[in-house]
Amino acid sequence: MASVSSGFPFNLPVASLLLILLLCLHSGGGQKKKENMLVEKVEQMMEWSSRRSVIRMNGDKFRRFVKAPPRNYSVIVMFTALQPQRQCSVCRQANEEYQVLANSWRYSSAFSNKLFFTVVDYDEGADVFQQLNMNSAPTFMHFPAKGKPKRADTFDLQRIGFASEQLAKWIADRTDVQIRVFRPPNYSGTIALALLVSLVGGLLYLRRNNLEFIYNKTGWAMAALCVVFAMTSGQMWNHIRGPPYAHKNPQNGQVSYIHGSSQAQFVAESHIILLLNAAITMGMVLLNEAATSKGDVGKRRIICLVGLGLVVFFFSFLLSIFRSKYHGYPYSFLIK
């Protein structure tokens, strides 16, 4: 059988070289496209950051500038619910601290395009909350320049609180970016102290001819009890950690005043503990009064019953809160 010639000389090595050349050109073009896209994204983020320290994002912006590659910058995102109808007071408090931190970074000499602060509001990016299976706010997350976020890239707000200094420390651990927090001057403490000193000084001046009240044991005992109640209820912990007042679930609107962990607490929880301790103390005082006074027996009996009721009921309530925080604690009294 005769062979049919195509009329075109076919050289395998030459064809292979042409194929390799085309692949290299295609790869180089794709790399160039990625570089141009990255430059465009960084320039856009820098432009937004120059207008405001915290960049607001909806679902589309979040997916393009935070989730989608290429990206050579880290992004801190606060997922929140700031609209008034959400009634999230914690979100507003956390947002104030977040703004302080973002401003400290934006106006520092170390500011660069390696880190950006953004915020996604539930009413502007509900699809983002659904995509991340997020059902609580506020939440802080770090999206690294490379790879996916790890467990440590979610800030433990419930345990640490949302103070700017704590956030800055967490960011330093995740990104090696050191942020020195600069707070705007707050003279409320100084003014309150000046008013207190003026009030005490004025009172002493008006009573300068009769200062026997200074030696009043009952007054000093009440002042000491107030200090003890404040310290034992966790007010100092609140001052150091800056926890939220309470927690509201944005999905169902349920508000929690007692933290479910023994490692943290809400401000409202410390107020509840303070009132419970005060009620128990009042009951003990009434029991002591009933035992030591020399008044009418019937009246002393009523005082004793009231004091006993206060101690029993409110101690049981206090113990139930303890059990809810320390899971597995076996003991209870009246209230579970």
222 forms bridges with which residues in the sheet?
Answer: none
Average pLDDT score over residue span 120-126: 91
What pLDDT shows up at residue 171?
Answer: 94
Is-contact 76 91, C-beta < 8 A? no
Whole-model pTM?
Answer: 0.57
pLDDT in tens, 297-325: 888 889 899 999 999 999 999 888 888 88
Q: What is the dihedral of CA 59, 65, 69, 71, to 10 degrees?
A: -150
pLDDT in tens, 26-36: 555 567 777 88
Local structure of residue 66 (DSSP, 8 states): I
Q: Buried b / exposed e across 17-43, counting CB within 10 Å, b at 16+?
A: eeeeeeeeeeeeeeeeeeeeeeeebbe
pLDDT in tens, 53-80: 999 999 999 999 998 888 889 999 999 9
How far is Cα 129 from Cα 323, in angstroms, rounded to an integer?
A: 32
Q: Buried b / exposed e across 126-148, counting CB within 10 Å, b at 16+?
A: eebbeebebebbbbbbbbeeeee
- Of the pLDDT bands very low, low, confident and very high (cuts 50, 70, 90), residue 6 is very low
- Closest listed residue to residue 91, CA positions, set 217, 196, 308, 245: 245
- Of the pLDDT bands very low, low, confident and very high (cuts 50, 70, 90), residue 114 is very high
Q: What does R_g of the chain's alpha carbons equal in angstroms?
A: 32
Is-contact 168 179, C-beta < 8 A? yes
38-42, 185-189, 214-218: segment of lowest average pLDDT: 185-189
pLDDT in tens, 40-49: 999 999 999 9
Q: Buried b / exposed e across 260-292, counting CB within 10 Å, b at 16+?
A: eeeebbbbbbbbbbbebbbbbbbbeebbeebee
Residue 326, both tokens: 């320390």
pLDDT at 262 over 90: no
How far is Cα 28 from Cα 43, in angstroms, rounded to an integer?
A: 23
57 forms bridges with which residues in the sheet?
Answer: 120
